[in-house]
Amino acid sequence: MERAENVSRFIDVNLQMMLDLPSGSNQQWRPLVSISGDDAVFTSRYATATRENVIKFLALDMENPNSIVSCLRAARENSRTVREAISSEMWEQVNTSYLAINAAASNPLLIHSPYSFFNEVKKASQLFDGVAEATMLRGEGWHFFRMGRLVERADKTSRLLDVKYYILLPSLTDVGTPLDDIQWAAVLRSASALEMYRKRHGHIAPEQIVEFLVLDHEFPRSIHHCLTAANDSLHSISGTPVGMYRNPAEQRLGQLRAELAYADTEHIIKRGLHEFLDGFQTKLNLADQCIYDTFFALRPIGASAPYRAGQ
Amino acid sequence: MQFATYETANFYDEMFLADGSPRSGARLLQERIASLPDGELLARQAAAERLLLQNGITFNVYSDSAATEKIFPFDIIPRIVEAAEWDWLEKGLKQRVYALNLFIDDIYHEQKILKDKVIPEALIQSARSFRKECVGLNPPQKVWCHITGTDLVRDRDGQIYVLEDNLRCPSGVSYVLENRRILKRTFPQVFEALRVRPVDEYPSRLLSTLQSLFPAAMESPKVALLTPGIFNSAYYEHTFLAQQMGVELVEGNDLVAANGRIMMRTTKGFEPVDVLYRRIDDDFLDPEVFRSDSLLGVPGLMEIYKKGRVALANAPGTGIADDKCIYAFVPKIIEYYLGEKIIIPNVPTHVCAEPRELAYVIANLDKLVVKAVNESGGYGMLVGPHATPEERSEFALRIQENPRNYIAQPTLALSRVPVIVNGQVAGRHVDLRPYVLYGTDIYVLPGGLTRVALKQGSLVVNSSQGGGSKDTWVLMS
């Protein structure tokens, strides 16, 4: 669900940026595919990275496991398998959204006017989140749900920032010009961050935007905020006090969170924003894998459990 | 206007008398429906279908590459059962389940009923559903069949019969609860005015029944529902019941036998389970005891069950009591164990294993319904009057090859109910499956699943054969 929402945000930011480019500029759609990490799948299925092909691939392609429709299908199937653990309202919400978005996806006019479609997807995900927030027991199930969602969100916020890196500026001299500002504003808007950013920092300035989306403590889509909350949930599940670790998942996620807690924007930009984000994504993937190994991989009884709760 | 062209057509109609006036319990409903403005009934039907779709009560139809989803057909006109009739049915169902349970316990212990020659011993020996592995088992409080679904039908003259017992893993109760939830929104005023007996307490009744099975004195034994998994056609019901009871839903590979207990895998290691409501067949329960190729069950489960360290609902081996040949003997079973006459009669049944009966069946195939003993879900049956001469003679050969596997019954003129078909109200045949819980005492869920044969003239109500369902309203006395 969260992924479907974020793919919508990607495409949306790109559409917005393209609209603001001076006429005659080349439209850049290929980077969107690179950012989602599905280059190989795309090239095997489409000849060129036109606007139409990329939107088809990212939004409607059932064969692309990360497309919006695939994500929704997976969200629904997963909800079905854990139906006894989630509330009826959550199940109805995911099911209704799946049906509505599937119906909308089969509309041939969608490609030409996709804005309301992406808005629908975003809303579906937010509704699901809200229903879960309001109905779920704050037990293990809830913490797994929240952790998964926040890890995904942290990853996608980093990729959203990366969109800007890939969109080549017409020339270096454009940095700091109105065009640059417009593009940064589009990035913020697609993270639902523009108004909150304005409250915090006022003027559009790249360092402060990086600060806001990566390091801010209080903005709910900032990477740091997401990881702090995900880390809290991880520790609620295991019972390990925050700040300590008893398994690789806690170690990796804790390290990554601490790295962000002590990072500063100047350093990140000096090192190169893209390099920083790339490195972050790799480490987050590793932490994610550790979470799976710790909690979900099947182990025979008697084999030492990865950790013991409440010791 | 809706019922103006409706015909009862010489069948017993659950809603109308032969002269076209409504039965007394159905009058209010009939008036309400008749007073709806044009198109309103269909609009409500469409709204109900939309709700079912949103709730995901669907199954997949693989007609093309993209699997399309369909809801189980549901008709919004409820079937009404009047108080006096239900009270009689309830008494009859309790009597039947009580006696069948005594029968199962006897069959797996002393077999007195065979020694007294009430039932031919050969019939038990040759029954595929008889589990020699269960001989000598002592389930808690000597209760074997905790959850039973009994299929009832009504003939043209109004008489209700028991058509079939289901004592293994009867399904469908989730539709009873969902159908009710939807109909409360569809006809709220009629519902309120008629005073319908509630069904919502079923999940808590079921949970109490399951908890009562754990022998050791415990405040709240850990209950889990064992499902074959997401590809099972009743998976929706498994998740629904687990959710409604607030118990864990598990598959075979979530469970292991260790240290004399059944342990459930959790993120915090393994935790013991005390009661398993298993929705998988005996055959697949434990590969060490039953089918060795089963991947659905738990190796070592039966060993632990025998020691009383885990309870199973239903107990393994209950299938012997819903063998279609044994069915023919239920009146005798009730008389033998209880000294009572059967309350809800059986449909007269010819057991083809008896040579004289076999000859009669072969000679009268055009009047009979023949059923394979080891099949369910409407498979392997012949509806004689609706079959072609070729089909009948082919079926006759099959019966003669293996008479033990067939029984035959007269073709009943099943009662009908009004159903919305293609925008019109038309009569369709129905049955009724009430659900019976047996823990410390016996409880009958008021109503049950009303199944409708949606094809015109069809007598087969099973969902696998194009059947739909209705809500069943049992009126308060």
CA-based nearest distance B58→chain A, Å = 11
> Chain A interface, mutation test: which of B268, B270, B279, B295, most A Cβ atoms within 10 Å?
B268
CA-based nearest distance B267→chain A, Å = 5
Helix (H, G, I), strand (E, B) or coil at B311: strand
Q: Rounded to an integer, what distance in angstroms lies between the CA atom of residue B442 and that of residue B448?
A: 15
pLDDT interval class at B65 (50, 70, 90): very low
- Decide if B258 and A302 are in contact by the 8 Å CB cutoff: yes
Cβ pair B74, B452 in contact under 8 A: no
* CB < 8 Å to B254, chain A: none
Question: What token pair was written down for B74?
Answer: 């549901």
Closest CA to B408 of B370, B362, B374: B370
Q: What angle do CA B83, B84, B89 make, to 5 degrees?
A: 95
- Decide if A88 and B230 are in contact by the 8 Å CB cutoff: no
Q: Rounded to an integer, what distance in angstroms lies between the CA atom of residue B121 and that of residue B8?
A: 46
- Decide if B265 and A298 are in contact by the 8 Å CB cutoff: yes
Where is B223: in which H helix or E strand? strand B223-226
Does the pLDDT of residue B68 top 70, yes or no? no
Q: Do A156 and A126 lie in a common domain?
A: no
End position of a domain, from candidates A105, A136, A167:
A136
CA-based nearest distance A104→chain B, Å = 16
The pTM for the full model equals 0.85
Per-residue pLDDT at A212: 95
Question: What token pair was written down for A227?
Answer: 């990881």
* CB < 8 Å to B265, chain A: 298
Which residues make Cβ contacts (< 8 Å) with residue A127, sequence separation at least 6?
A93, A97
Cβ pair A256, A227 in contact under 8 A: yes
Hey, which residues 200-239 in chain A have their CB within 8 Å of chain B?
A: 237
Task: Kindly state whether A308 is in contact with chain B, defined as any CB-CB distance less than 8 angstroms.
Answer: yes
End position of a domain, from candidates A136, A171, A196:
A136
Distance from the Cα of residue B186 to its chain's centroid: 26
Q: Do A209 and A241 lie in a common domain?
A: yes
- Decide if A309 and B53 are in contact by the 8 Å CB cutoff: no
CA-based nearest distance A226→chain B, Å = 23
Which residues make Cβ contacts (< 8 Å) with residue B225, sequence separation at least 6?
A84, B238, B241, B242, B245, B247, B248, B249, B250, B276, B277, B278, B279
End position of a domain, from candidates A136, A170, A189:
A136
Alpha-helical regions (H) of B259-387:
282-285, 301-306, 324-327, 330-338, 355-363
* CB < 8 Å to B248, chain A: 84
Residue numbers of the domain that contains A144: 138-311
Cβ pair A10, A18 in contact under 8 A: no
Helix (H, G, I), strand (E, B) or coil at B123: helix
Q: What is the mean pLDDT of residues B362-371?
A: 93
Strands (E), B64-145: 68-71, 74-81
Question: What token pair was written down for B100?
Answer: 């069948």
Span B81-124, pLDDT tens digits: 999 999 999 999 999 999 999 999 999 999 999 999 999 998 89
> Which residues pair with residue B161 across a beta bridge?
B153
* CB < 8 Å to A302, chain B: 258
- Decide if A99 and B267 are in contact by the 8 Å CB cutoff: no
Q: Do A154 and A277 lie in a common domain?
A: yes
Q: Do A164 and A277 lie in a common domain?
A: yes
Where is B344: in which H helix or E strand? none
Helix H, strand E, coil C: the string for chain A is CHHHHHHHHHHHHHHHHHHHCCCCCCCCCHHHHHHHCCHHHHHHHCCCCCHHHHHHHHHHCCCCCCCHHHHHHHHHHHHHHCCCCCCHHHHHHHHHHHHHHHHHHCCHHHHHCCHHHHHHHHHHHHHHHHHHHHHCCCCHHHHHHHHHHHHHHHHHHHHHHHHHHHCCCCCHHHCCCHHHHHHHHHHHHHCCCHHHHHHHHCCCCHHHHHHHHHHCCCCCCCHHHHHHHHHHHHHHHHCCCCCCCCCHHHHHHHHHHHHHHCCCHHHHHHHCHHHHHHHHHHHHHHHHHHHHHHHCCCCCCCCCCCCCCCC
Q: What is the mean pLDDT of residues B199-206?
A: 95
- Decide if B258 and A301 are in contact by the 8 Å CB cutoff: yes
Q: Rounded to an integer, what distance in angstroms lies between the CA atom of residue A101 and that of residue A7?
A: 14
Per-residue pLDDT at A310: 35
Backbone angles phi, psi at A306, to 5 degrees: -60, -30
* CB < 8 Å to B55, chain A: 88, 91-92, 95
Per-residue pLDDT at B464: 66
> Which residues pair with residue B164 across a beta bridge?
B151
Q: Do A96 and A120 lie in a common domain?
A: yes
Query: What count of other Cβ atoms lies within 10 Å of the Cβ of residue A96?
Result: 19
Closest CA to A83 of B240, B310, B405, B287: B240
> Among all residues of chain B, which has the CA nearest to that of A295?
B267
Neighbouring C-alpha atoms within 13 Å toward the C-beta of A276? 22
Burial of A83 per CB tally in 10 Å (0-12, 13-18, 19+): buried
Span A85-119, pLDDT tens digits: 888 899 999 999 999 888 888 888 888 788 888 88
Span B216-226, pLDDT tens digits: 666 789 999 99
**Regions of chain A where pLDDT drops below 50:** 168-171, 304-311
Per-residue pLDDT at B455: 87
Between B319 and B128, the higher pLDDT residue: B319
Q: Do A300 and A155 lie in a common domain?
A: yes
- Decide if A301 and B267 are in contact by the 8 Å CB cutoff: no
- Decide if A99 and B249 are in contact by the 8 Å CB cutoff: no
What DSSP string runs through B421-472?
A: ETTEEEEEEEEEE-EEEESSSEEE-SS-EEEEE-STT-----GGGTEEEEEE
CA-based nearest distance A77→chain B, Å = 9
Q: Rounded to an integer, what distance in angstroms lies between the CA atom of residue B14 and that of residue B5?
A: 17
Task: Kindly state whether B283 is in contact with chain A, defined as any CB-CB distance less than 8 angstroms.
Answer: no
What DSSP string runs through B240-290?
A: HHHHHHT-EEE-GGGEEEETTEEEEEETTEEEEE-EEEE-S-HHHH-TTTS
Q: Do A164 and A298 lie in a common domain?
A: yes
Q: What angle do CA B109, B111, B117 make, to 5 degrees?
A: 175
Structural domain total, chain A: 2
Backbone angles phi, psi at A218, to 5 degrees: -110, -15
Cβ pair A143, A233 in contact under 8 A: yes
Q: Do A67 and A151 lie in a common domain?
A: no
- Decide if B56 and A81 are in contact by the 8 Å CB cutoff: no
Distances, alpha carbon B134 to alpha carbons A225, B91, B105, B145, B373, in Å: 59, 30, 10, 14, 21
Q: Rounded to an integer, what distance in angstroms lies between the CA atom of residue A175 and that of residue A197?
A: 20
Q: What domains does chain B contain, in order, with CATH numbers?
A: 216-307 (3.40.50.11290), 350-410 (3.30.1490.270)
> Chain B interface, mutation test: which of A84, A88, A292, most B Cβ atoms within 10 Å?
A84
Query: What count of other Cβ atoms lies within 10 Å of the Cβ of residue B83?
Result: 15
Task: Kindly state whether A47 is in contact with chain B, defined as any CB-CB distance less than 8 angstroms.
Answer: no
Question: What token pair was written down for A307?
Answer: 């950790």
Q: What is the mean pLDDT of residues B301-328?
A: 93
Closest CA to B255 of B217, B191, B310: B310
- Decide if A95 and B54 are in contact by the 8 Å CB cutoff: yes
- Decide if A84 and B249 are in contact by the 8 Å CB cutoff: yes
Closest CA to B33 of B178, B191, B161, B155: B191
CA-based nearest distance A297→chain B, Å = 10
Q: Do A183 and A278 lie in a common domain?
A: yes
* CB < 8 Å to A62, chain B: 66
Cβ pair B51, B72 in contact under 8 A: no
Q: Is the peptide bond before B405 cis (omega within 30 degrees of 0)?
A: no
Task: Kindly state whether A81 is in contact with chain B, defined as any CB-CB distance less than 8 angstroms.
Answer: yes
Q: What is the mean pLDDT of chain B?
A: 90
> Which residues pair with residue B426 across a beta bridge?
B419
Q: Do A155 and A128 lie in a common domain?
A: no
- Decide if B56 and A140 are in contact by the 8 Å CB cutoff: no
Q: Rounded to an integer, what distance in angstroms lies between the CA atom of residue B117 and that of residue B140?
A: 28
Q: Do A6 and A118 lie in a common domain?
A: yes
> Among all residues of chain B, which has the CA nearest to that of A294?
B267
Query: Which of B56, B225, B269 lies closest to A91 in CB terms?
Result: B56
Span B448-475, pLDDT tens digits: 999 999 888 888 777 666 789 999 999 9
Hey, which residues 208-227 in chain B have their CB within 8 Å of chain A?
A: 225
Per-residue pLDDT at A50: 86
Helix (H, G, I), strand (E, B) or coil at B150: strand
- Decide if A308 and B240 are in contact by the 8 Å CB cutoff: no
Per-residue pLDDT at A304: 45
Question: What token pair was written down for B385?
Answer: 């009057």
Cβ pair B244, A84 in contact under 8 A: no
CA-based nearest distance A7→chain B, Å = 23
Q: Rounded to an integer, what distance in angstroms lies between the CA atom of residue A171 and that of residue B19?
A: 89
> Among all residues of chain B, which has the CA nearest to that of A137?
B246
Q: Do A282 and A142 lie in a common domain?
A: yes
Distance from the Cα of residue B374 to its chain's centroid: 16
Query: What count of other Cβ atoms lies within 10 Å of the Cβ of residue B295?
Result: 12
